Structure 1
Amino acid sequence: MPGLKKSKPTVLVGMSGGVDSSVSAALLQRRGFNVVGGFIKNWSDSKDVWTGECNWSGERRDALRVAAKLGIPLLTFDFEKEYRALVMKDFFRTYKKGETPNPDILCNQYIKFGLFFKMAKRLKMDYIATGHYARVRWDSNGTAHLLRGADTDKDQSYFLCRISQEALNRTFFPIGNLKKTAVRKLAKQFALPVADKPDSQGICFVGKLDLKDFLRTKIKSKPGEIVDPKGRIIGRHDGLDRYTIGQRHGFAASGGTSAWYVARKDLRKNCLIVVPGARHPWLYSDSAVVRDVHWLGVRPPAFPIKVQVQIRYRQKPVSAIVASDKYKNRVKLKFTEPVKAAAAGQSAVFYKGQECLGGGFLC
């Protein structure tokens, strides 16, 4: 990493109370860095019965136990107000529009590599670090490049596609070159009190609740008609926000034997359009438009450019040509093979080999 000549730089490590971030802190300490832990409080909602499933105080307690074991301080940052405004507001807004948002990407952009990074600078910290499965490479010009994590099953570069070059340039991903099994072994070697803690699953503010159940508490849905490709009414839906493009619909039309899948949403008519069979052509797209594109490099690439695109986490990348669009921060995608279930609001993330170039949102 360019630019620093301190003998013992200080790193603010985002510590969630989980295994990955705890091992990250321990590894940096072993490498000789001055390590300070930082716990981020994003979300609590005492009015909701599901609060106990997203127990931030319990996670903070675990982070404190790890910090005590390592002999490092732990700072707590309350970003709940900002999280609601910058992440949750967009999450609810896009779901109300019938789109499919990914709040983790916005959380990384605005909170972990936004506010948390700014706080590190304000506190005169030299770097930040997180427990993401990703890697950073610096070129001879000092530009930071985001690479996939070595563990292909755990790679989280998809969620980091919108962070700033400034933040990326001052970030360590200590476990990015490791497999998850190796991280677990290290947790035991370091005798960390969370060594046997299960991995967190799903979206934090939902906890163990089904996402649909959570959304029912936050969004007033408007029921409407379900129609087939010919426009015939074949049922009723509970609200367009309850369904995802490509999702198998849980009903059977009279006299039919095929399963039905969500193909489109007509917001103007409040209609859900379903098609018979998982391979119906309406479920596939050979092109797309991506809005609010963010490039991780110092400047955007020259168009057209051939990339690999992921529109879902852990999806197999698909080759595509990215071309400029007449609107600012928008690009056109032409897939080399049809892509299934490309839904508005999903994040389209661009790769060149192992490098993540950036990403945007499907229109």
Structure 2
Amino acid sequence: MNSLDLPGSPAETRVVVAMSGGVDSSVVAALLKREGYDVVGVTLQLYDHGAATGRKGACCAGADIRDARRAAETIGIPHYVLDYEERFRRAVIDRFAESYVAGETPIPCVDCNRTVKFRDLLGTALDLGAHALATGHYVASHPGPDGRRVLVRAADPGRDQSYFLYATTPEQLAMLRFPLGDMPKAETRRLAREFGLPVADKPDSQDICFVPQGRYADVLEKLRPEAAREGEIVHLDGRVLGRHRGVAHFTVGQRRGLGVAGGEPLYVVRLDAARGRVVVGPREALATRFVRLRDVNWLGDLPLGEIGPEGLPVAAKVRSTRPARPAVLRSLADGIGVELLDPEEGVSPGQACVFYEDDGLRARVLGGGTIMRPEAGTVAAAA
């Protein structure tokens, strides 16, 4: 066996590395090349939005493709650029816009990982005769008790990306490898300098790659003009407090920039996209005890249908920036839900709820889904 848990010697093992032009994926390619693997670098051109291609923190366009090419030349591996713009537009950008117009707060990185990268690129890797597809994500995987690979949180808690990778399927995990999962970011930077990579000091990517200057509303209004439809800002008690210039400018839990006057602090409680309304209320109205999910991906050993009436204790994460907290996974007559043992604030439709075996540093990822509807009541009220 070799370091990637694949049969055969490294020299006989072809690995495609998804190279975004950043330091992480470049170090992965260099590490595997040093270990003797037959490494092929592949970079996806995902979009070409003018200013976005040159700004700091972007990826998969313009200068980043050139950086990936320079890194591959330094490492001494073949490098290919694949035009996935149309696929990316359909699977990620269009879905992002539709979700926002519907009053949700989507996570396009999840859609990108589960479609363009781990479905389409994985197929391309197989066409190239690869035994594995390696990425620079900070997450880890290893063989489980039954031989199937399991997904676990990264060793560096500040870099862990498991929240964005919950939708990875067991079939994809069998071929995916994440060499940085056991490594702190500082060590990645050190290795980049040791390898002499031209991207050693390149800043990490920030925000959403295809949104120039991080201005969501500009992109949304261009893709979906109806996102700029004006409407009312309404208090939970029914009072009309003002008007807004599009629900896409708001997200659940938002306090600043509401544009309404009043004595009490107000927060966005929900977005009524069908009626073009932004509903606001006091902070306590944000408390959520139960979330219903759609598009659930399950990575656990016990089939979801065999979860009993008592539910399955898990640790649930409802925002990428929040810790995983005690919860109970419930199998309902009409789908899957998660009961949060401690109320969470600002839970928004469109975000992900990811469940882990526990809240430990290297906890196993059991799966997750897209939040359809957060509810204030418990499972008894939701059933």
Q: Shorter-chain TM-score: which interval?
A: over 0.9
Paired position in structure 2 for 1:18: 22
User: Is the CA contact (8 Å cut-off) linking 1:153 and 1:314 kept in structure 2?
Assistant: no
State how 1:31-110 maps to structure 2 within 5 Å.
Answer: 31-45=35-49, 50=52, 52-53=54-55, 54=58, 56-110=61-115
Q: 1:264 aligns with which of 257, 261, 270?
A: 270
2:315 to 308, 325, 331: 308
Q: Is the 8 A contact 1:2 1:142 kept in 2?
A: no
What is the aligned partner in structure 1 of residue 370 from structure 2? 361
Q: 1:90 to 1:19 in 2, by over 3 A?
A: same
Which residue of 291, 294, 300 corresponds with 2:294? 291
**TM-score (structure 1 length as normaliser):** 0.92
- Change beyond 3 A, Cα 1:50–1:5: closer
Say if 1:263 and 1:273, in contact at 8 Å, map to a contact too: yes
The 8 Å contact of residues 52 and 209 in structure 2, kept in 1 or not, is answered as no
Q: Note the C-alpha offset of 1:70.
A: 0.8
Does residue 163 (structure 1) correspond to residue 168 (structure 2)? The answer is: yes
d(CA) in 1 for partners of 2:155, 2:172: 21
Aligned residue number for residue 274 of structure 1: 280
Q: What is the rounded CA distance, in whole Å, between the counterparts of 1:126 and 1:231 in structure 2? A: 60
Whether the aligned pair in 1 keeps the contact of 2:48 and 2:62 (CA below 8 Å) is no
> Where in structure 1 do 4 or more consecutive aligned residues deviate above 6 Å?
none
Instruction: Report if aligned partners of 2:101, 2:273 keep a CA contact under 8 Å in 1.
Output: no
* Equivalent-residue separation in structure 1 for 2:240 and 2:98 (angstroms): 28
CA offsets 1:148-188 (integer angstroms, 9 cap, x no match): 11110110011111112122111211111111111111111
> Matched residues in 2 for 1:214 and 1:252: separation?
22
CA pair 174-87 structure 1, distance change in 2 beyond 3 A = same
Residue 119 of structure 2 corresponds to residue 111 of structure 1: no
Supply the AA of the counterpart residue of 1:224.
G
Aligned match of 2:245: 238
* Stretch moving more, 295-304 or 199-208: 295-304
Measure how far apart 1:50 and its partner are: 5.0
Preserved CA contact (<8 Å) 1:66 1:192 = yes
Deviates most, 52-61 or 194-203? 52-61
The percent identity for this pair of structures is: 37
Task: Please say if residues 143 and 298 of structure 1, whose CA atoms lie closer than 8 Å, have aligned partners that are also in contact.
Answer: no
Distance 1:50 1:17, change over 3 A: closer
Cα distance change on mapping 1:92 and 1:299 into 2, 3 Å: farther
Contact 2:351–2:370 at 8 Å: present in 1 too? yes
- 1:125 Cα shift? 0.5
Alignment of 1:206-245 (within 5 A): 206-220=211-225, 221-245=228-252
The residue type equivalent to 2:191 in the other structure is L
Query: More deviation in 305-314 or 265-274?
Result: 265-274
Evaluate the alpha carbon distance shift between residue 234 and residue 106 of structure 1 in structure 2; reply closer, same or farther with a 3 A threshold: same
Q: 1:252 to 1:62 in 2, by over 3 A?
A: closer
Matching residue of 1:136: 141
Relative to structure 1, the CA distance from residue 299 to residue 103 in structure 2 (aligned partners, 3 Å threshold; closer, same or farther) is farther
Say whether the 8 Å CA contact 1:104–1:159 is kept in structure 2.
yes
Query: TM-score of the superposition, structure 2-length normalised?
Result: 0.88
1:217 is paired with a residue of what secondary structure? helix
The answer to whether the 8 A contact 2:327-2:341 is kept is: yes
Paired residue type of 1:64 = R
Cα 1:209–1:2 shift into 2, 3 Å: closer
Gaps of 5+ in 1: none
Residue in 1 that maps onto 2:375 = none
Q: How many residues align?
A: 355
Aligned-pair CA distance for 1:253: 4.5
* 8 Å CA contact 2:15, 2:40 repeated in 1: yes
Task: Give how far 1:289 is off.
Answer: 0.5
Distance in 1, matches of 2:259 and 2:249, equals 18
Using the alignment, how far apart are the partners of 1:162 and 1:321 within structure 2? 19
1:348 maps to 353
Task: Note if contact 2:316-2:356 (Cα within 8 Å) is conserved in structure 1.
Answer: yes
In the alignment, structure 2 segments of 5+ residues that lack a partner are: 373-383
Take 2:45 and 2:272, find their aligned partners in 1: how far apart are those partners? 38
Instruction: Give per-residue Cα distances to partners, 1:259-308, cap 9 Å, x unaligned.
Output: 321012233432211114xxx22111111111110113576344121111
Query: 1:257: Cα distance to partner?
Result: 3.4
Q: RMSD across aligned C-alpha pairs, in angstroms?
A: 1.9
Partner Cα distance (1:10, 1:267) in 2: 49
Q: Deviations over 1:81-107 (max 9, x none)?
A: 111111122111111101111000010
What is the CA-CA distance between 1:252 and the residue it aligns to?
6.2
Deviation at residue 143 of structure 1 after TM alignment: 0.4
Q: Offset of 1:109 from its aligned partner?
A: 0.2
Residues 242-257 of structure 1 aligned to structure 2 (within 5 Å): 242-251=249-258, 253-254=260-261, 256-257=262-263
